[in-house]
Amino acid sequence: EDVGWAVVRVGAVWLGLVLALIVVPSALGVSLGISEAYMWVLVKTLEWATIRIEKGVKKPQPQMLKTPAANGIIERDETPMEKEIARLHRVDFEFSDIFYFCRKGFEAIVEDEVTQRFSSEELVSWNLLTRTNVNFHYISLRLTVVWVIGVIVRYCFLLPLRFTLAAIGITSMIVGTTMVGQLPNSSVKNYLSEVVHLTCSRILVRALSGTIRYHNKENKPQKGGICVANHTSPIDAIILTNDGCYAMVGQVHGGLMGVIQRATVKACPHVWFERSEVKDRHLVTKRLREHVADKSKLPILIFPEGTCINNTSVMMFKKGSFEIGGTIYPVAIKYDPQFGDAFWNSSKYNIVSYLLRIMTSWAIVCNVWYMPPMVREEGEDAVQFANRVRSAIARQGGLTELPWDGGLKRAKVKDTFREEQQKNYSKMLVRNGSIG
Amino acid sequence: PGASRGLPCAQGSLSPPSFPPTVTSEQIEHLHRRFKQLSQDQLTIRKENFDSIPDLEFNPIRGKIVHAFFDKRNLRQESDGLVDEINFEDFLTIMSYFRPIEMNMDEEQLDRFRKEKLKFLFHMYDSDHDGKITLQEYRNVVEELLSGNPHLEKESARSIADGAMMEAASICVGQMGPDQVYEGITFEDFLKMWQGIDIETKMHVRFLNMETIAHCY
C-alpha cells in the first residue's frame, strides 16, 4: 500500500513539474530557457563526438567528411544525347549508339535520382543514434559510453516526458475545440479557437523537442490565401500551426486522428474530405474555391507534393492546388537531420513506429522561410505556375528540384516518358540523313 | 557460394582472374546498399526489381540492359541461357564490366579489359546466344531503339539495320561476291569493327571519392 501511495505521489509530482515548467509557459508563449539549455548541451556533445570520430579514423585521408548523398555517388556525364552520339559515329548507327544508352542505363541502376529521395538523408557524421549508424564503426570506449548514456536519456527520460506532453496536447486540443465549438459563430469564437489551436500546437511542438526558426515573418500567409509548403512528414502541419492559424485540408481518417478532425472542425472551418469526395477533383476544387473566396476565413494549408519526400529535394507539385485561384503564399521547410530525422518513409514504417522514432530522437530542428506571395500571371497555366512556385521554394530551402512525381514511391513510370526518349533518338537519326 | 567462386567480397578487393583488383571497399559498400534497395532487403534480385528505377524507364534498350544482368554468359557461368535471380556477387560481376580503367594497367591488362567490355556488348546484341549477330537480331535492336517514333515506319527501321549490316560486312569480310551470304557478325569481326576506337572511356561508370580526385585523368 505504501508503495502504491509512493507511486501516486511521484506521478503527481512529475505531472506537476511538467505542467509548471513546460505546459503553462508554452501556453503563454513564454520560454523558460530549458530547451535552449538542452540544445546547447546537445550541440556540444555532438561536436565532441564528431571530433572523436575524426581522430579515430586511421585512414590517411585529407578530409574525413564524405560527399553528401544528395549530390550522388557517381560521376555523371551530362553531355546531351546528340553530342555524345555524334562523337561516336563511325559506323553509322546503333552499334555505337548503344554505348550511350547502355551507360545511362547502368548509371541509373547504380544510382537514380528518384529512389534515393524516398529514403532518409545520409548524415555527414554520426549523431549518436543507432538508426543512423550506417557507415560508422566502433571508435573508442568513451564514445560508446556517451552513446549508452544517450540511449538511457532518450528512452528513459525524454520518451516518457514527450509522451506525457503529447497526451496533454492532444487531449486539450480535443477538449478545447469541442468546448469552443459549442459557442455560436462570432468573432469571440474565432479568437478563442485561434487561442486553443496555437496553445495546443505549442505544447505538441515541445512534445517533440522542436526548435523552429521562422524567417521573414512579414510574409506570413494572410486570410483568404493559400499556403503551400514542401512535405516531409505529418509533423509539418504542427510546425506551421505553431506560428499561425491555418485551415487544414485533408482526408477524413478513422481512429484518434478522426476524433481530432471531428473536434477541430467544430471550432474552425477546416476542410476535411470524405474518401469518396477526394476522387472527384471538381468537387474538391469547388469547395476550396468557396473557402478562399471568403476573405474572413483562415488561409488554407496544402502540401502539393502529395506524399512525404526526404527533405533533400522538392518533387512535382500537383497542379490541382494551383487551379483554385487566389494568392499563393509559399513556405519552405528544411529540417536539420543531425538532431533527428523527420522524414516519414511510409512504405517502411507505420505511423506509430514513426512517432516512436521521432520521440526518441534528440530533437527536431528546422528552419521555416515565409516567402512573398505569388499569383498566377497572364498566359501562365496551372502547371507552369506550380513549377514556378516549386523553384522558389527549392531555392529558398536549399533543396534540389526534381521534375518527377512523388507518386513514383509506389507506382511505375508512365510509358510516355520512354517514348519521348525514343522519339528524340529517332528524330536525330532522320536528321543525320540516315534514311533512304 | 562465395568460397566456391573465390571472390573475397568482404575484403577491399575483387579479384576474378581477368580483372586487376582495384575496387575499393567503399564502392562495394555503396553498391551493396544499392543492391539492398533494389532487392528490397532480399538476398537476390529478380527482373521485376529493376522496374522500380524511374530513370531506367527512360531508356529504350532497358529490356536488353536488364536482360544482361541475368545472362549466364556475362555471369561467367559455363552453361547458356538466363538465370532467374542474381545475388550480390553476381551483381558486382556485372557492374565490373563498367569499371573505369586504372592508371597502373599495362598493355595486356588494357587489352583484356577492352575485350571484356566488348564481349558484354556483343552479348547484348546476340540474343539467341549462338555466337553470331545475325541480320534479324540487329534489326531487333534497331527497332527497340526507334520504336517510339510513330513517323518512322518499320520499313525505314529495317533499311537502317540492313545498311549498317552491309557496312559491317564490308569491314569484316571485304568485298563479297554476289553469291556470298553474310551469316552474321562473329565476335572476332565485332572486335575488328572497333579497332582504333576508344570505347573504354565511353563504357564506364566512375565513382566519386577522394581517391579518384587525386588521380586526375
pLDDT tens-digit series, residues A127-179: 666 666 655 566 677 777 888 888 888 888 888 888 888 888 889 889 988 88
**Residue B113 CA: distances (Å) to CA of A105, B75, B80, B202:** 20, 16, 22, 13
Q: Show which of B72, B97, B122 is a domain's final residue.
A: B97
Contact: B210, A427; criterion CB under 8 Å: no
Domain range for A146 is: 141-408
One domain, residues B119 and B185: yes
Interaxial angle between packed helices A351-359 and A159-182, expressed in degrees from 0 to 180 and rounded to the nearest 10: 120
Please, what is the average pLDDT of chain A?
Answer: 78
Contacts of B162 (CB under 8 A, 6+ apart): B135, B139
- The CA distance from B98 to B120, in Å, is 10
Domain total in chain B? 2
B30 inside 8 A of chain A by CB: yes
Candidates B30, B31, B52, partner chain A, best to mutate (most A CBs within 10 A): B52
- The CA distance from A293 to A287, in Å, is 10
Residue B46 placed within a domain: yes
**Residue A110 CA: distances (Å) to CA of A104, A351, A367, B96, B99:** 10, 30, 32, 12, 12
Domain range for B135 is: 108-199
Contact: A108, B206; criterion CB under 8 Å: no
Q: Burial letters for B144-182: b for 16+ Cβ neighbours within 10 Å, e otherwise?
A: bbbbbbeebeeebbebbbebbbebbbeebeeeeeeeeeb
**Residue A426 CA: distances (Å) to CA of A93, A349, B60:** 11, 44, 11
Check which CATH number belongs to the domain holding B123 and give it: 1.10.238.10
Q: Show which of B97, B130, B149 is a domain's final residue.
A: B97
One domain, residues B36 and B117: no
B197 inside 8 A of chain A by CB: yes
Model pLDDT, residue B1: 35
Give the one of B30, B58, B145 whose C-beta lies nearest to A94's C-beta: B145
A412 inside 8 A of chain B by CB: yes
Residues on chain B touching A71 (C-beta within 8 angstroms): 208
A3 by DSSP, 3-state: which? Answer: helix
Dihedral sign for Cα A403, A406, A409, A411, please. Answer: negative
A189 inside 8 A of chain B by CB: no
For cell 575499393, the residue is: B24
A227 by DSSP, 3-state: which? Answer: strand
Nearest residue of A to residue B30, measured between CA atoms: A73
One domain, residues B148 and B86: no
Residue A86 placed within a domain: no
- The CA distance from A368 to A205, in Å, is 14
Check which CATH number belongs to the domain holding A297 and give it: 3.40.1130
Model pLDDT, residue A324: 82
One domain, residues B81 and B123: no
Contact: A435, B160; criterion CB under 8 Å: yes
**Residue B190 CA: distances (Å) to CA of A210, B96, B119, B124, B172:** 63, 21, 9, 12, 8
Contact: B206, A413; criterion CB under 8 Å: no
Q: Which three cell numbers stand for residue A46?
A: 555532438
Instruction: Write down the ipTM of this complex.
Output: 0.72
A175 inside 8 A of chain B by CB: no
Give the one of A134, A404, A425 whose C-beta lies nearest to B60's C-beta: A425
Contact: A435, B159; criterion CB under 8 Å: yes
Contact: B33, A134; criterion CB under 8 Å: yes
CA–CA min distance A115, chain B (Å): 7
pLDDT digit string (tens) for A201-237?
888 888 888 888 898 989 888 888 899 999 888 888 8
Give the one of B55, B124, B163 whose C-beta lies nearest to A114's C-beta: B55
Contacts of A232 (CB under 8 A, 6+ apart): A308, A309, A310, A311, A333, A335, A342, A343, A344
DSSP A221: P
Cβ atoms of A180 and A196 closer than 8 Å: yes
**Residue B114 CA: distances (Å) to CA of B65, B121, B216:** 19, 11, 21
pLDDT digit string (tens) for A350-362?
888 888 888 888 8
Residue A215 placed within a domain: yes
**Residue A258 CA: distances (Å) to CA of A262, A278, A343:** 6, 16, 23
Contacts of B124 (CB under 8 A, 6+ apart): A98, A102, B61, B64, B65, B67, B68, B141
Candidates A92, A95, A402, partner chain B, best to mutate (most B CBs within 10 A): A95
- The CA distance from B126 to A298, in Å, is 65
Nearest residue of B to residue A81, measured between CA atoms: B59
Nearest residue of A to residue B157, measured between CA atoms: A435
Residue B16 placed within a domain: no
Residue B151 placed within a domain: yes
pLDDT digit string (tens) for B6-58?
333 333 344 344 444 456 777 788 788 888 888 888 888 888 888 878 777 77
A248 by DSSP, 3-state: which? Answer: strand
A97 inside 8 A of chain B by CB: yes
CA–CA min distance A177, chain B (Å): 43
One domain, residues B115 and B76: no
Q: Is the pTM of this model over 0.90?
A: no
For cell 539467341, the residue is: B128
Nearest residue of A to residue B66, measured between CA atoms: A105
Contact: B54, A109; criterion CB under 8 Å: no
Residue B209 placed within a domain: no
| Mean pLDDT, rounded, for A248-264 | 84
Residue A115 placed within a domain: no
Give the one of B58, B167, B197 whose C-beta lies nearest to A421's C-beta: B58
CA nearest neighbour of A329 among A235, A178, A417, A224: A224
For cell 488554407, the residue is: A300
One domain, residues B132 and B49: no
Pairing of strands B45-46, B85-86: antiparallel
Q: Show which of B97, B120, B149 is a domain's final residue.
A: B97
Cβ atoms of B142 and B157 closer than 8 Å: yes
